[in-house]
């Protein structure tokens, strides 16, 4: 079994009626519904206003893959939470950063670069599979139409990924490395761009398939202590 924790800042869906309409159960609720069909996944949700920002040590120690959606409250994530999550990623916990979590403290720390990009609301996207042999692309069509999505454009200031699995093309005139993998410590990381809060992108069956694949790919085969400090021999 793979233990998945969906961590959501849970801000827009509570405060903005139009976004509540899109995701009445929260973005975390919609993501969780997308995993219902998979009997090998044990899924729980956590949100930022819960004790220890939803991620106390016991939860992280019991999580194989952490999924994070954030936008409005990036700066509210405390340094203690960042340290705790990064230590678990370094020891092998998988990490999936969704959409505007590209600019979260955790993702920027993991990348070591600004993670900036260009953006514009109110566009549409064609998501192309750039690496059909990759485990995250199994059962995914060559191109997925996302009728409403926020434009994200290059340059995306990340280090060169291990793999670019998906490329986004936006009608407004931009392209983007929309699905990228990285390794940090023993942890596998997937950044996935679709999922702006104003449209129900996480209910799209092909997007759900990608996230199911990503969870299975990112799950650790073995959980180890984080890499040790320098050791004198």
Residue 13 binding Zn ion, by CB under 5 A: no
Measured distance CA(32)–CA(99) in Å, rounded: 16
**Please, which residue, 125 or 150, has the CB nearer to Zn ion?**
150
**Please, which residue, 188 or 196, has the CB nearer to Zn ion?**
196
Residue 150 binding Zn ion, by CB under 5 A: yes
Residue 196 binding Zn ion, by CB under 5 A: yes
**Please, which residue, 64 or 125, has the CB nearer to Zn ion?**
125
Query: DSSP letter at 50?
Result: S
**Please, which residue, 64 or 150, has the CB nearer to Zn ion?**
150
Q: Which stretch binds Zn ion (CB under 5 A): 35-43, 128-136, 149-157, 167-175?
A: 149-157
Query: DSSP letter at 155?
Result: -
Residue 123 binding Zn ion, by CB under 5 A: no
E strands of the chain, at which residues? 2-8, 41-47, 65-69, 94-98, 118-129, 143-153, 163-170, 174-184, 187-192
Distances (CA, A) of 83 to 106, 107, 226: 8, 12, 12
Residues 45-104 that bind Zn ion (CB under 5 A): 100
Contact set with Zn ion (CB under 5 A): 100, 150, 196
């Amino acid at each position: 079994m793979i233990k998945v924790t969906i961590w959501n800042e849970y801000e827009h869906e509570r405060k903005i009626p139009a976004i509540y309409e899109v995701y009445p159960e929260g973005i975390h609720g919609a993501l969780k519904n997308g995993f219902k069909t998979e009997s090998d996944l044990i899924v729980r949700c956590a949100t930022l206003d819960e004790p220890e920002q939803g991620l106390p040590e016991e939860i992280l120690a019991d999580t194989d893959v952490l999924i994070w959606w954030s936008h409005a409250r990036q700066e509210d994530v405390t340094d203690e939470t960042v340290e705790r999550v990064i230590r678990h990623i370094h020891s092998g916990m998988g990490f999936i950063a969704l959409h505007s979590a590209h600019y979260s403290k955790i993702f920027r720390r993991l990348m070591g670069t600004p993670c900036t990009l260009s953006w514009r609301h109110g566009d549409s996207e064609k998501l192309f599979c750039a690496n059909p042999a990759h485990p995250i692309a199994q059962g995914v069509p060559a191109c997925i139409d996302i009728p409403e999505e926020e434009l994200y454009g290059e340059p995306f200031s990340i280090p060169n990924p291990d793999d670019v699995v998906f490329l986004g093309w936006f009608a407004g005139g931009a392209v983007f490395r929309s699905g990228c993998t990285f390794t940090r410590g023993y942890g596998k990381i997937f950044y996935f761009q679709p999922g702006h809060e104003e449209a129900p992108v996480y209910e799209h069956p092909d997007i759900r398939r990608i996230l199911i694949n990503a969870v299975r790919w990112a799950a650790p085969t073995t959980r180890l202590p984080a890499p040790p400090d320098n050791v004198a021999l």
